[in-house]
Structure formats: C-alpha cells, structure tokens
A and B are shown apart, each in its own frame.
Chain A
Amino acid sequence: MAIDFNSQKDPDASAHAAYEVRLEQVFEGPMDLLIHLIKKNEVDIYDIPIALITDQFLAYIDLMKSLNIDLAGDFIVMAATLAQIKSRMLLPVHDGETEEEDPRMEIARPLVAFLQMKTAAESLADRSLLGQHIFTRPQTPERPKPDPGGEMIKVGLIELIDAFQKILERTPKSHRVDLTEDTLSIKDRISQLVDILERKSTISLDELLPDPSGKQEVIITFLAILEMAKLSLISIAQHVQSGIIRLFYQ
C-alpha cells in the first residue's frame, strides 16, 4: 500500500524492480493521492504541512514518470495548485492588511467535500442491493414488443434520414424566411420525449410527428431523437415489412 517516496532518488535497476512490486495502489485521481498522503503523514486536513505534502506529491509524479505511466493532466493541475499554495504561504502577512483566509483552505475544502462523497458512496455500497441481497419478481422484458409476426431491425442513420425526408415532404412549404424565435428547444423536446416514453416505453416516429407539424418542430424532434440515441437513452428499430420506425426506451 505504501509507496516509498525517498528511495526514488537513486534510480538504479534494483530500485526500479522494487517499485514495480510496490505499485499495488494506483491512485485514480489526484484527490485519492492527496488523501493517502494526508493519512500516511497523520496530519489534520485543515492544517496540512503544505511543503511536505507538495514534495511527496511531486515525488509520486516523478515516480510515475520513471515507470512510464501516463499521468492524467489532473495530477499536474493539482501539483500546480499545491505549489501555488505553498508559495502563497511564504508571503509575509503585514499588520493592518485585511485578514486573508488561509490559502490552504483552497485545497482543504474540496478535500472535505471529496471525503464526504466517499462516505456517502460507502453508505450506498453498504445497503442491501436488489439483485444481490434482495430479490423480487424480475421485470418481464417486454420492451421490443413489435406487432405480432413482425420483425424489427436496428436502423442506421440512412434509414432515419430517409424517414425524415418523407416527413419533411409532408410539411407545408413556405417561401418566406421566418425569423420568429425558437418556440421549442431540443432540451425541452428531449424531456417531453422522455415523459412520453416513460409512459409508453415505445412509440413510432410517425406518432411523434403527426401530419401538420411545422418544419421547425420536425427538425427539433429529429435532433432530439439523435441526441437521445447518442446518449443511449433510446434504441431505434425499423419494422421489416411496414418500414415503420419505432423508438424504444432503454
């Protein structure tokens, strides 16, 4: 668990081998590393010996580099923050100056928030989980419920665009450019669609766009559907014979 930060000053071959054995704990992010250092040194989170912690943090980064492990930029950002706090701690505070907050609060506050969330995550993990400790009647997978005898295929972008072309052809043409404000945003349309799908779990594209929809509404709906598919909120399938495209709520 512990990483020896002092021995890495002499990078000979044997030391290298030793590192590889020790590299049990890989920190997911800079916060994990900081918490580890604070615990290892047994210091108060609100009274971090900033010089010590910064040195150890940088030593860890060097160690990672010597092992050719790609470090996420997050570690570098954190190192910079620590260095900046360290330098601010060195500045003398003159009498009469408005009392400034301890610069270390900049790091202590997110650390406390981080620890809180870790505690919260633990309390979630400690609960009896459905499908693990507790069981119930399994949900009947009724999602792809095509009309009897029907066969659905997953549709690609081309089929979607084809279907759209058809709907667009049905919308009334006008030659004037209309500069009215957006009445409906994609975001709103997505939440509308989620509401509909939560109720119905599946809906056909035609149902969503009844005949007299305006061009703008059609486009917004189309974009909303694409966005939802990208977020894997929905899957889209096309009936083989009828060519009807349906959306299924994941």
Chain B
Amino acid sequence: MEDLKNIVESLLFVADSPLTIDQLRQVLDLAEGKPIREVLRTLSEEYDTRKGAFYLDEVAGGFQLRTRPAYHEWIKRLLKPSPVRLSQPALETLAIIAYKQPIIRSDIEHLRGVDSGGVLRMLMEKRLIRVLGRKEIPGRPLIYATTKHFLEVFDLRDLGELPTVREIESTGTGEPESGQGEPRSNPEAAE
C-alpha cells in the first residue's frame, strides 16, 4: 500500500486546513479509517527521522503539515505576517474562555475583575472565540466559546490537550471549598 501513503501525503500537501480522518476517508473512498491512521503514523515517523523542514501535526481534530519552529525567522522574512501577538489582557481573557467555556461575559469579568468588552470584541475579530448563543437568564447575556481557529493557532489537538485546571490548581493551591479555618494551607500560594 505504498501508493496510499503517497496519496495521503499529496492531500496533506495541498490542503489549506487540517484534514480529518473522515475527510481523507471520503476522498479515498475507504470504508474505515484504520489504514489511513497507519499511513499517517508512518508519514509522521518518516518526517521525524528525516528531520526536514516539516512535521505532521495533529491539530484541531485533523492532520496538517507544518514547518518546524526552527525556521520561523526565515519564513517571516518571506511572508511578513502581521504579528499575532496578543496582549496580556487578551491572553487572560482567552485562557478564561478556553478553560471555562461556555461562559458569559459577567463571569469572565468576575474572574478578571475588570471590564472585558473591548478584549472580547478583539478576540472575536481574530476569530479565536465565537458566540454560542444567549443564556436564558435576565439580560440574556451572550455565551462565548473558543473556535477551531483557536486550536489551530495554539497548536492544540482538542480542548482536552489544554493542561487541566487541576494541574494549574496544584501550582496555586488545593484549597477545599469549606475553608476549614486553616488559612495557611500553602505558603507558596502568594508566589
């Protein structure tokens, strides 16, 4: 099945967004995804052993050829991309949405302690977040969630690949709900 490998590789080469197993299966007219998955694994290993400019990235629920970070300076000289740098407030807001989605604006602002309207609009324009709908509570606030584009930009397979909040909690503190009148639970928490 050497042929299948080349076909899949050619599809990956021309695709402008991550290809899912399902998409590949439909194009190749195959009943199951197992051979495709095997071929993808072989390709990925080949790229790794070759140590060339590309690698096969599993991202946003699909597979995509991407350049290795080592060459980004050169690529930037060619493409002159507009910087995707996000400000600190934008990153914080994005992190809150990523971890707590679906979430409404007032909950975001409660966590951050500041108005977040402008930041939300900016994230929306950058297609990193989207509106899922409105929550049926007074005021019918908008519900926000991250987009597939967010996964692509941050190189995430899916939302499950985000470090779990529990991991983060352990770096902060494992404060139980009750409090138990034992405030000095973690001296490192102020760090």
* Contact surface of A with B, Cβ cutoff 8 Å: 28-32, 38-39, 42-47, 72, 74, 78, 99, 101-102, 104-105, 108-110, 112-125, 127-140, 186-188, 190-191, 194, 231-233, 250
A247 to chain B, nearest CB (A): 15
Residues of chain B from 133 to 151 with CB closer than 8 A to chain A in the complex: 133-134, 136, 140, 142
In contact, A121 and B95 (Cβ under 8 angstroms)? yes
Complex interface: chain A residues within 8 A of B85 (CB): 132
Residues of chain B from 35 to 94 with CB closer than 8 A to chain A in the complex: 57, 64-69, 72, 75, 79, 81, 83-86, 88-89, 91-92, 94
The number of residues on chain B lying at the interface, defined by a beta carbon within 8 Å of a beta carbon of chain A, is 71
State whether A116 and B169 are in contact (beta carbons under 8 Å apart), knowing that A28-B114, A44-B189, A72-B115 are contacts in the complex: yes
15 pairs of residues in contact across A and B, judged by CB atoms under 8 Å: A28-B114, A29-B113, A29-B114, A39-B191, A46-B184, A120-B95, A120-B98, A121-B94, A124-B154, A127-B156, A129-B154, A130-B153, A134-B67, A136-B65, A233-B131
State whether A190 and B133 are in contact (beta carbons under 8 Å apart), knowing that A114-B111, A130-B155 are contacts in the complex: yes
In contact, A119 and B168 (Cβ under 8 angstroms)? yes
Nearest first, the 5 A-B pairs at minimum CB distance are A29-B114, A31-B113, A120-B95, A121-B95, A46-B183
Complex interface: chain B residues within 8 A of A105 (CB): 179, 183
Q: Does B106 contact A (CB under 8 A)?
A: no
Of B2-10, B25-33, B170-178, the one with at least 4 CB within 8 A of chain A = B170-178
In contact, B183 and A47 (Cβ under 8 angstroms)? yes
In contact, B190 and A131 (Cβ under 8 angstroms)? no
Q: Chain B: interface secondary structure? A: mixed
In contact, A137 and B15 (Cβ under 8 angstroms)? yes
Q: Does B1 contact A (CB under 8 A)?
A: no
In contact, A134 and B72 (Cβ under 8 angstroms)? yes
Contact of B133 among A101, A118, A123, A187 (CB under 8 A): A187
**How many angstroms from the CA of A46 to the CA of B189 in the assembled complex?**
8
In contact, A114 and B113 (Cβ under 8 angstroms)? yes
In chain A, what residue has the closest Cβ to B84?
A131
Q: Does B160 contact A (CB under 8 A)?
A: no
**How many angstroms from the CA of A122 to the CA of B127 in the assembled complex?**
20
Q: Does B17 contact A (CB under 8 A)?
A: yes
A5 to chain B, nearest CB (A): 18
State whether A121 and B88 are in contact (beta carbons under 8 Å apart), knowing that A47-B184, A116-B165, A116-B169 are contacts in the complex: yes
Q: Does B112 contact A (CB under 8 A)?
A: yes
In contact, A134 and B66 (Cβ under 8 angstroms)? yes
B182 to chain A, nearest CB (A): 9
20 more A-B residue pairs beyond the given contacts A44-B187, A120-B163, A134-B72, with a C-beta to C-beta distance below 8 A = A28-B114, A29-B112, A45-B189, A46-B184, A47-B184, A112-B173, A113-B111, A115-B189, A118-B92, A120-B162, A121-B92, A125-B91, A132-B83, A134-B66, A134-B155, A135-B67, A136-B67, A140-B16, A187-B140, A233-B130
In chain A, what residue has the closest Cβ to B55?
A134
**Chain B positions 97 through 140: 1 when the CB is less than 8 Å from some CB of chain A, otherwise 0:** 01100000000001111110000010011010011111010001
Complex interface: chain B residues within 8 A of A194 (CB): 130
In chain A, what residue has the closest Cβ to B133?
A187
In chain B, what residue has the closest Cβ to A134?
B66
In contact, A119 and B189 (Cβ under 8 angstroms)? no
In contact, A44 and B66 (Cβ under 8 angstroms)? no
**How many angstroms from the CA of A188 to the CA of B134 in the assembled complex?**
9
